[in-house]
Structure 1
Amino acid sequence: MFLSVQLSYYPLADDFKPPIKALIARLEQSGLEVYPNRMSTQIFGDFDEVMKVLSETLRWSFETYGKAVFTANIMEGDRRPRS
């Protein structure tokens, strides 16, 4: 099963940009298709791999940067941008 995810990350810190940049870099190194933009990051891939990466990434974020809010829209199917 293929998943399309729109993930938004809101670190609860005054200096919020470094955690966001680090989280995007970590997602990009996961092997999944990742498309960051100004408001959210789109992630695409196999269900099991996407859920594994999201779980590991959220845990890493909380352990590394502390409190944060994540919002995710998860849709079964391929919603990748088409050129």
Structure 2
Amino acid sequence: MKASIEISLYPLAEEKFKTEIWAFIKRLRQVPELKVVTNGMSTQVFGDYDLATSHVMAEIKQVHQTLNAAVFICKFIGGDRSVVEAES
């Protein structure tokens, strides 16, 4: 089974805002079996359900251990939504 996960990270520590967001994304991109896409508002992760969810949760834990104060907004969708065909 595949998964699509959309993540928005809001560190509550001003001095590490951009640094921690890019570190989070970089760590996810090190998993070759995951497709990681970013835009100005969120990061999307696509791949095998168990692999994607376990890596995303591990990285969320890493951020919380590093910053102690960060908010994550996540959407988990069953299936690969990386390419959705437009309706006619």
Gaps in structure 2 of 5+ consecutive residues: none
1:78 aligned counterpart, secondary structure: coil
Aligned to 1:10: 10
Shift of 1:65: 2.1
Give the partner amino acid of 2:26. A
How far the C-alpha of 1:57 sits from its partner, in A, is: 0.4
Give unmatched runs, 5+ long, in structure 1.
Answer: none
**Deviation beyond 2 Å, 4+ runs, structure 1:** none
What secondary structure sits across from 2:14 in the alignment? coil
Distance in 1 between the 2:52 and 2:44 partners? 11
Aligned equivalent of 2:56? 54
Matched, 1:35 2:34: no
1:51 and 1:5 map into 2 onto residues whose CA distance is 8
Q: Which amino acid aligns with 1:43?
A: V
Pairwise CA distance, 1:53: 0.2
Name the Cα RMSD after superposition.
1.2
Distance 1:67 1:40 in 2: 18
What letter matches 1:37 in structure 2? N
Larger radius of gyration: 2
- Counterpart position of 1:76: 78
Q: Given the two structures, how large is their TM-score scaled by the length of structure 1?
A: 0.91
The number of residues matched between the two structures is 82
Identity %: 40
The whole-number CA distance in structure 1 between the counterparts of 2:19 and 2:39 is 15
